[in-house]
Amino acid sequence: MPVFLAVGATSSIPEMTPPIRGLTLANLRDTFEEIHNGQRHEAVDILEPRGTPVLAVVSGTIRKLFHSKPGGNTIYQFDEMGVYCYYYAHLAGYMEGLREGSRVRSGDIIGFVGSTGNADSRTPHLHFAIFELGPEKLWWQGKAIDAYPGLVAAVKRAK
15-37 residue pLDDT tens: 999 999 999 999 999 988 878 77
| Residue 12: per-residue pLDDT | 63
pLDDT of 41 reads: 75
SS3 assignment, position 36:
strand
Q: Which residues 6+ apart lie within 8 Å of 83 measured at CB? A: 14, 132, 133
Residue 69 falls in which region: left (phi positive, over 0), alpha (psi -120 to 50) or beta: alpha
Q: Which residue segments constitute the domains of the chain, with CATH numbers given?
A: 4-158 (2.70.70.10)
Contact criterion met (CB below 8 Å) for 46 and 20:
yes
Q: Of the residues 41, 67, 125, 127, which is catalytic?
A: 125
Calculate mean pLDDT across residues 142-150.
92
Residue 125 catalytic?
Answer: yes
Question: Per residue in 7-17, pLDDT tens?
Answer: 443 346 679 99
| Residues 64-108: tens digit of each pLDDT | 999 999 999 999 999 999 999 999 999 999 999 999 999 999 999
| pTM, rounded to two decimals | 0.90
